[in-house]
């Protein structure tokens, strides 16, 4: 049903209030917080939003494009291509691109703004994120924030349009060469958001190789300002997505639609699974994504705080604070004296920690001391990874921490003992790793702390008395850990 001018005017008034409210309730992580533009209900973005809402209230469209200026410009630089391919017929589309938008603005438009309400789309095309990397320094907007913002947009789209499929398009290349800093940040985001595709709810579409030469250089003949495509660039975009749009429009709900990947492997390659290479666990399981969001929120909310202690590791570290974790009570007491940030993630291997350390979790704060214990999951989950590779991963983590926090000291701990017998292959491998990493400690900036013998009984055996599953410490095990490390905390932190 068409809305009358009075109804639309009333909605404008309501949205003006919502704009001011959104602007005044800025959340922790900017990229995941629905945010209206500048608090001005008469800004040009709001006027554009209301123009688009007129189309929404008149029935929306089956095909919807969502994005920033690159999507917005279908109406200018790509106008003839839009008219030719998307203005009429079965693909008659609604353009919900707004120049300068970041993930938080798109979130506002599809939550408080209502741009996906009241109609049923079948195919939604989403490309967003280049302004997140382009408008802020790395420390203010690390790639992990943009990834989480895009993940949240996908979640809201699924909630608002449960019968639609989303064609998630990689952020277009920008800058003349692959070394452009914004492009490098976008490449990190692209590698991770591609993993959100399942062929059903989300279909990945990356045709960036069509815009680049064999060396990854972006031509001004396609992108005059090295950011926005011209008419030929939009022609290439249309030719890449039309087959996917038509496939979505014709598909049975249970049909899996394959993703589109670049043909030139030099342009786009998934991260190596090597122990010393950065690999995120998106979306290995939703809890990993949630943990990233939780930790980034904690860091941002503390607003440049100085922590006494930052703990880095896997589930053994995570369980200091995890709900139901065996070290939770001791951790709570520890936090009565020290300001502690726990960056332990269950299941993490060295490559996952490297990714986290490089892409956001070392930004926005200072720390007196880092603790590091990692590597047992490399041994458990990748039996073919040599000890030397895992040790190299641990060395890289140390180097990243030293680079980003040169003022901090690092307590390096050996991988804790596991399994019942000393000749167990995983325990043997971990001991080889421990022997390799011990020399990384210089006694000044990196301190070696080995108390593994405290976990053994009088017969020199590891028992369930300290580790119920012979891998994770129980309450008694965490007390052993705390007793061993407290003298270092006191010495370094002065408490």
Which is higher by pLDDT, 285 or 243?
A: 243
In what helix (H) or strand (E) does residue 186 lie, and over which residues does it extend? helix 181-193
Q: In this model, does residue 195 exceed pLDDT 80?
A: yes
Tell the burial category of 142 from Cβ atoms under 10 Å away from its Cβ (0-12, 13-18, 19+): buried
Rounded average pLDDT over 65-74:
98
- Residue 207 CA to residue 121 CA, distance in Å, equals 24
Q: Which residue has the tokens 């630089």?
A: 77
Which is higher by pLDDT, 93 or 286?
A: 93
Sorting pLDDT into bands at 50, 70 and 90, what band is 286? confident
- Residue 396 CA to residue 193 CA, distance in Å, equals 25
Q: In this model, does residue 27 exceed pLDDT 50?
A: no
- Residue 492 CA to residue 485 CA, distance in Å, equals 11
Domains of the chain: 5-250 (3.40.50.1110), 286-493 (3.40.50.1110)
Sorting pLDDT into bands at 50, 70 and 90, what band is 22? very low
How high is the pLDDT of residue 77?
A: 98
Q: Which residue has the tokens 């896997």?
A: 314
Q: In this model, does residue 14 exceed pLDDT 60?
A: no
The DSSP line for 159-188 is: HH-TT-EEEEEPPPP-SSSTT-HHHHHHHH
pLDDT single digits (tens) 442-493:
999 999 999 999 999 988 899 999 999 999 999 999 999 999 999 999 999 9
Residue 265 in contact with residue 322, Cβ under 8 Å? no
How high is the pLDDT of residue 396?
A: 97
Q: Which two tokens stand for residue 22?
A: 């959104």
Q: Which residue has the tokens 């049923």?
A: 120
Which one-letter DSSP state was computed for residue 78? T
Sorting pLDDT into bands at 50, 70 and 90, what band is 291? very high
Residue 456's DSSP bridge partners are 462
Mean pLDDT of the chain: 91
Q: In this model, does residue 29 exceed pLDDT 50?
A: yes
Sorting pLDDT into bands at 50, 70 and 90, what band is 17? very low
Q: Which two tokens stand for residue 256?
A: 């899996």
Sorting pLDDT into bands at 50, 70 and 90, what band is 28? confident
How high is the pLDDT of residue 270?
A: 40
Residue 215's DSSP bridge partners are none
Give the least confident one: 2-16, 48-62, 179-193. 2-16
Q: In this model, does residue 237 exceed pLDDT 90?
A: yes
Q: Please compute, for residue 82, the number of CA atoms within 13 A of its CA located in the half-sphere on the CB side.
A: 17
Q: In this model, does residue 422 exceed pLDDT 60?
A: yes
Q: Which residue has the tokens 């003298």?
A: 487
pLDDT single digits (tens) 134-190:
999 999 999 999 999 999 999 999 999 999 999 999 999 999 999 999 999 999 999
The CA dihedral of 454, 459, 460, 462, to the nearest 10 degrees, is: -80
How high is the pLDDT of residue 385?
A: 79
Positive or negative torsion for Cα 172, 176, 180, 184: positive
pLDDT single digits (tens) 99-146:
999 999 999 999 999 999 999 999 999 999 999 999 999 999 999 999
Question: What is the reported pTM?
Answer: 0.89
């Amino acid at each position: 049903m068409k809305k009358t001018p009075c109804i639309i005017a009333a909605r404008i008034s309501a949205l003006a209030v919502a704009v001011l409210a959104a602007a005044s309730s800025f959340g922790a992580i900017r990229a995941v917080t629905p945010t209206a533009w500048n608090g001005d209900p008469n800004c040009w973005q709001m006027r554009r939003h209301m123009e688009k809402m007129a189309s929404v209230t008149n029935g929306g469209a089956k095909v919807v494009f969502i994005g920033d200026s690159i999507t917005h410009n279908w109406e200018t630089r790509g106008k003839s291509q839009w008219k030719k391919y998307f203005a009429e017929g079965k693909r008659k589309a609604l353009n919900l691109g707004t120049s300068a938008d970041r993930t938080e603005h798109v979130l506002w438009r599809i939550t408080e703004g209502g741009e996906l309400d009241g109609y049923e789309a079948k195919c939604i095309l989403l490309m967003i994120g280049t302004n997140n990397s382009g408008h802020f320094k790395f420390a203010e907007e690390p790639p992990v924030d943009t990834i989480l913002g895009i993940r949240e947009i996908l979640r809201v789209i699924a909630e608002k349009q449960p019968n639609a499929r989303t064609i998630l398009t990689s952020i277009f290349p920008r800058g003349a060469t692959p070394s452009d800093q914004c492009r490098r940040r976008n490449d990190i985001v692209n590698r991770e958001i591609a993993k959100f595709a399942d062929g059903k709810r989300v279909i990945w579409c990356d045709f960036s190789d069509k815009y680049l030469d064999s060396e990854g250089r972006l031509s001004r003949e396609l992108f005059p300002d090295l950011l926005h495509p011209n008419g030929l660039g939009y022609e290439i975009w249309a030719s890449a997505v039309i087959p996917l749009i038509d496939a979505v429009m014709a598909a049975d709900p249970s049909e899996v639609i394959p993703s589109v990947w670049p043909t030139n492997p030099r342009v786009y390659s998934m991260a190596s699974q090597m122990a010393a290479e950065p690999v995120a666990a998106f979306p290995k399981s939703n809890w990993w994504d949630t943990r990233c969001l939780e930790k980034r929120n904690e860091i941002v909310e503390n607003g440049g705080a100085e922590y006494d202690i930052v703990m880095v590791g896997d589930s053994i570290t995570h369980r200091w604070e995890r709900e139901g974790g065996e070290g939770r009570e001791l951790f709570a007491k520890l936090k009565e004296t020290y300001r502690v940030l726990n960056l332990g993630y269950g299941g993490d291997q060295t490559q996952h920690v490297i990714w986290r350390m490089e892409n956001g979790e070392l930004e926005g704060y200072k720390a007196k001391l880092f603790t590091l214990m990692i590597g047992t999951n490399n041994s458990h989950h990748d039996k073919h990874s040599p000890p030397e590779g895992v040790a190299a991963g641990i060395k890289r983590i140390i180097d990243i921490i030293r680079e980003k926090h040169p003022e901090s000291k690092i307590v390096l701990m050996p991988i804790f003992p596991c399994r019942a017998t000393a000749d167990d292959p995983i325990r043997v491998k971990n001991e080889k790793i421990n022997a390799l990493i011990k020399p990384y400690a210089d006694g000044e900036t990196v301190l070696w702390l080995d108390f593994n013998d405290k976990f053994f009984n009088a017969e020199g055996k590891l028992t369930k008395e300290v580790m119920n599953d012979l891998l994770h410490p129980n309450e008694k095990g965490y007390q052993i850990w705390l007793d061993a490390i407290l003298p270092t905390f006191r010495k370094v932190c002065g408490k």
